[in-house]
Structure 1
Amino acid sequence: MTESTYTVSGMTCGHCVASVTEEVSQIPGVTGVDVDLATGAVTVTSAEPVAEADVRAAVEEAGYALAG
């Protein structure tokens, strides 16, 4: 199992968390997504490492952006 944490900017509510979780969960190989609204941290758990570009694309599809 691989775990990576990213920071997402622009999330302000539970709906934001649900949108990001749904989009990131659709990345092939992702087995879990944990979003912390207070810090903007998104932890992605997967069987194999997931490309940051894939996570960035999923977050952008949800309407938000990776910080940094």
Structure 2
Amino acid sequence: AGKIYDRTHQYTSKFFDFLTAKMSLRGLKRIAEIGEHALEVKGKVDERIETIEGIKGEIRANHDNVTSLL
């Protein structure tokens, strides 16, 4: 009976080791996906900041033109 228990225990622990490894891998993939998404969002934010900086530059140029006319 002890031998059967040992063998069953051995297979059970290997199975749980496998499940744990599979879950960790899935977790790592998810973390990678979240990181990738964060980089995409950062790219979009950077583009918007550049657009805003461009608009600010145009406003300054227009302001300077108006000031020089006065």
Same fold (TM over 0.5): no
Who wins on radius of gyration, i.e. which is larger? 2
> TM-score, with normalisation over the residues of structure 2?
0.23
Greater relative contact order (CA < 8 Å, ≥ 6 in sequence):
1
TM-score scaled by structure 1? 0.23
Between structures 1 and 2, the one with greater helix share? 2
Higher strand share: 1
